[in-house]
Each structure stands twice: as C-alpha cells, then as structure tokens.
Amino acid sequence: MKQLEGKVAVVTGAGQGVGRGIARALAAAGARVVLAGRTLEKCEKVLAEIEAEGGSGLALACNVAEREECEALIGRTVAVFGRLDVLVNNAHTSRPMVGVEDTRDKDLALAFQGFHGGFHCMRAAFPHLKAAKGRVINLGSVAGIRGDAGFGAYAAAKEAVRGLSRVAAREWGVHGITVNVICPFSESPGVEYMIDTQPGFIDELTEQTSMKRLGNSREDVGATVVFLCGPGGSYITGQTINVDGGIWIAP
C-alpha cells in the first residue's frame, strides 16, 4: 500500500513548475490530487500526466486572489471526494528584480495575492483538516530568508507566509494538524524567466549551493512534501524546511 493511499490533497498553482512537481509526487504516493490554477488547461495537462502514471484526481480553475474561489475550491474538493487531508499552498506571482525604492503599491498587492490565497484556503480547509488530522504545506522562499536584492515585495510576502504558518502550527496542533513551510530552489517558470532576462543570475545562485545543481520540482521538492504528509511527518510542525541544495545553511 502506498503511504498516501486514500488521502485527498489540494495543490494550488499546480499547472506548472513546483506545483506540478508536488502534485505528481503526491499522486505517485497514492493521493487523489485536486490540481488548482488560474489556467484550467494547464492543470488538465498535469492531470493527464498523473492519470498516465496510474494516479487520479481533479483539475479545477481557481484564482487564489479571489476569496470566493478559494472557498469554492475547498468546497468542491470535499463534495467530490468526501474529505481533505492535505493542503499545499503554492500559487504565487510577483514582479522580480525591483529595488525597494522602485517598488509600488501594485507590486506589493501582486506579491501578496499568494499570501491572501493561502490564508483563505487554510481558513476554508480548517474543519476538514481537523476531521482528518491533516497536513498543510505552505511555500516560502529562500529569497525572503536571505533578503535577496530585487525581491522586496516577494520576500515580504513569503516571510508573511512563514509567520502565518508558525501561528497556525501553534493553534492547530491540538487538532492533530501539522503546518510547515518549504523553501525550494528548483526548476520553475520563475527560474526560467530569470534565466532568460538576467543572464548568469541562476548560474550564480546554483554555484552558491552545496550541491552545485538546481533542484527537481518532483524528485526533490515533491518528495519532501510527500514525507511531511506521510507517517514520518506526523510530529513535525511549525518548521521551515529549505529544499535548496544548501544555498542557505540554517544556523
């Protein structure tokens, strides 16, 4: 029996990049995965990949910037599958490489859409996670931990995610719910954008890792999510786990 057999997981931003890798890893571990994203066609494509590998799930359109859509995502998941065990808040967007002095209100609003979406999904999912003694995985960023130049709005939003996660872990532990943060450095559309627009930037970051390579969204990041959602992760909560090849060595 696979370690997540019978579990139901929601992954936001699942149509590409890190979300795609996480969704595929969860499905391979036996979970039925609800793939949510702004572009339904992308999620349907990932669902087809999962089904081709023997997994199952559901693709749904969801713009996490809208509270009602977050609530509808959770409601639809429970209506179809009867339960919710895992919530992975991955969806985010931002405008990178903008100095603090040039950051505008619209940049902050854009970067914090993912934070608000994660919050709304967590709140809507709480009663179902409580019933299942479920798991929440929120995606942070090493850019926030390190304070990387050019990522002011993004780093602020991702550090807000970590703060919310710590509080939720403290409050929800009594219900058997674990809440953790993963900060990845892996292949993603954002990384591809930086490769195209900032020559040498990703190569420089990769050289700073201990492993000297860019992570794989499924085999590295997704595998960590599966562990946290499985039996081995049942007593881990309120933690930030950097899946970044050693680009940040925590004190």
Q: Nearest 5 degrees, angle CA 110-CA 112-CA 115? A: 140
- Pairwise CA distance, residues 26 & 193, whole Å: 26
Residue with tokens 């970051």: 205
- Pairwise CA distance, residues 214 & 52, whole Å: 26
Q: Beta-carbon neighbour count of residue 46 at 10 Å?
A: 24
Q: Which amino acid is at 69?
A: E
Per the DSSP assignment, residues forming a β-bridge with 138 are 89, 181
- Pairwise CA distance, residues 116 & 159, whole Å: 13
Q: Which amino acid is at 163?
A: G
Q: Of 151, 154, 172, 185, which one is the catalytic site residue? A: 154
- Contact at 8 Å (CB) between 161 and 140? yes
Strands, sheet with 86-89, edge to edge from the N-terminal-most edge strand: 57-61, 32-37, 8-12, 86-89, 135-139, 178-184, 240-243
235 is catalytic: no
Residue with tokens 């023997």: 54
Three state DSSP letters for 129-150: HHHHCCEEEEECCHHHHHCCCC
The first and second tokens of residue 249, run together, are 């060595």
Active site residues: 154
